[in-house]
Amino acid sequence: MSRERLIVIGGDAGGMSAASQARRRRGSDDLEIIAVERGAHTSYSACGLPYLVGGAVKAAEDLVARTPQEFERDHDIRVWLWHEATEIDVDKRVVRVRDLAGGTERVEPYDHLMIATGAEPVRPDLPGADAAGIFGVQTLDDGIVLDSYIGETKPRRAVVVGGGYIGLEMAEAMVERGIAVTLVEASPQPMDKGLDPDMGALVAEAIERIGVELRSGERVTAFEAGDDGVVRAVVTDRSRYPADLVVLGLGVRPRARLAREAGIAVGESGGIVVDRRMRTSAEGVWAAGDVVESVHRISGLPVNIALGTHANKQGRVAGINIGGGYATFPGVIGTAVTKICGIQVARTGLSSREAARAGFEIVTAAVKSTTRAGYYPGATWMTTKIIAERRSGRLLGAQIVGEEGAAKRVDVLAVAAWNGMTVEEMTGLDLGYAPPYSPVWDPVLIAARKAAEQVAAADG
């Protein structure tokens, strides 16, 4: 049997999970594996970048799960760092690769190709957007550069543009570094894409409590730079904010240009279209991670949700199939948690707006409770919101904002949503109880009961 060749484009979660799984099923004599990585690191935690910049994580190496040397030594997977794939020819089954250090290019053949190019930060097409001192943070290299820039230039004022997960986490990181922060968000509330407005308002209160100047409902129109080319201010449709540093938190989009230019199908979400086995429209080409389009299990619609949890699972599925096994990826419901300014935030399923867009008629219930029995030391507040389908009572989504002990309760709600439970069925869930961990009626059960009452009232 001739030796086959797998080329992986992208050295983080999706790509290296696929490479590792393929190697487990096929030996080195049967399959050569090469990973092409445009940066300096493999298999790192991008979710840890705000904590690196904020100082909670002391060294970038702490975020690396497995180095290129470990991949080669332990799994015979070669990694070409500082190399970028610039073109794919699906008919000839070759990839053009550029050595970013040496400037040379070469053409590499493949039998299997894994596209795991991830996502890229959205950079606004506005005057001055190319000024020095404006950062998008998506890769470990991005985080290292930003961390070094702060250490070298000692900025006093930072403007964060965008109030999503990344923007809020980076705003907190700036505060931790002693930098005065203004956060500009075009929507009325932060986290507008993931949370309902009433829950986003709780997050707004939290970030203002730590001293972040929140400017909601303002749209950035330009960036001003000094004679040295370094950013000096952010201009909005209402005001002007001085800045020594700007961090973009406008979200990310799939880095799908390579696939699109190769004629590989790209969906309406901007992600590469894949089947349940993570195969693309091109023979022998697979994809996983932030670059792909997934099916939302509740709405049934194609979505692109950039989460490391999805990337690792999708990469594993692709690698098993490349290695000759059989595995499928069942879809997503977008469960996510984060910590912002001491407040824990979680969500799963659809928001009210997403549910309406998907054609559902909904009822909602929001309940404020405590994370422990009220009399037990350390009990803190949390608000749980449930979105359910009118009449059927099916759980469509849920959101949690609260203090210590709140966020991971979303996992109960995620399991219920994943399995299509109704809020009435949820009221009987046999959840654990002890005063140090929960009130006798867990906040999830209280919210489910209130939602069930709303369902009954809506059709009563």
Quote the DSSP letter at residue 3: P
Going by their DSSP bridges, the two strands 395-402 and 343-349 should be labelled as antiparallel
Q: Residue 241: how many CB atoms within 10 A of its CB?
A: 21
Active-site residue, 47 included: yes
> Between the CA of residue 319 and those of 6, 7, 69, 336, 358, what are the distances in Å?
10, 12, 20, 25, 32
Tracing tokens 């990181």 back to the chain, one arrives at: 173
Q: Is 346 exposed, middle or buried (0-12, 13-18, 19+ CB in 10 A)?
A: buried
Cβ 286 vs Cβ 114: under 8 Å: yes
Measured CA to CA, the distance from residue 23 to residue 27 in angstroms comes to 6
Catalytic residue, candidates 5, 32, 45, 47: 47
Which DSSP letter does residue 188 get? S
Judge whether 365 and 443 are in contact, CB under 8 Å: no
Write b or e for each residue in 175-200: b if 16 or more Cβ atoms lie within 10 A of its Cβ, otherwise e.
bebebbbbbbbbbebbbbebbbeebb
Active site residues per annotation: 47
